[in-house]
Amino acid sequence: DSGVTQTPKHLITATGQRVTLRCSPRSGDLSVYWYQQSLDQGLQFLIQYYNGEERAKGNILERFSAQQFPDLHSELNLSSLELGDSALYFCASSVGRGGDLAKNIQYFGAGTRLSVL
């Protein structure tokens, strides 16, 4: 168990809908990362938050947004869902301090499997 908790485990929804994925980082971790894993693209970085602030952005669609709350949990919001958004969505967390790699190792949750029908 990595200590990163993601809910729900599975989501089945229809095109055009909006969903929210939730992530609780490991105790003491300030950074949260979101990744999308699909069969053809592999794991793709979406966005990172550090202590409530957005720090890095990857190939995240405008229909997707995220935030990190004062208690450090994070939510990824996906709207106007399309069939192609069906994927595994992973959250990872790290301590996120300084330039020491050991403090920035990312630990992954078990993921949320999203199916858009």
Partner 1 sequence: QKEVEQDPGPLSVPEGAIVSLNCTYSNSAFQYFMWYRQYSRKGPELLMYTYSSGNKEDGRFTAQVDKSSKYISLFIRDSQPSDSATYLCAMADRAGTASKLTFGTGTRLQVTL
Buried/exposed code over 55-73 (b: 16+ C-beta within 10 A; e: otherwise): eeeeebeeebebebeeebe
The residue (of 8 and 16) whose beta carbon lies closer to partner 1 is 8
Q: Is 73 in the site for partner 1 (CB under 8 A)?
A: no
105 binds partner 1, rule: CB under 8 A: yes
What does DSSP assign to residue 63?
T
In the set 3, 58, 69, 80, which binds partner 1 (CB under 8 A)? Answer: 58
Among 20, 52, 55, 73, binds partner 1 (CB under 8 A): 55
CB 31, CB 105: distance < 8 Å? no
65 residue type, one letter: S
Which residues here bind partner 1, judged by CB under 8 A?
2, 4, 31, 33, 35, 41-45, 48, 50, 55-56, 58, 90, 94, 96-101, 103-111
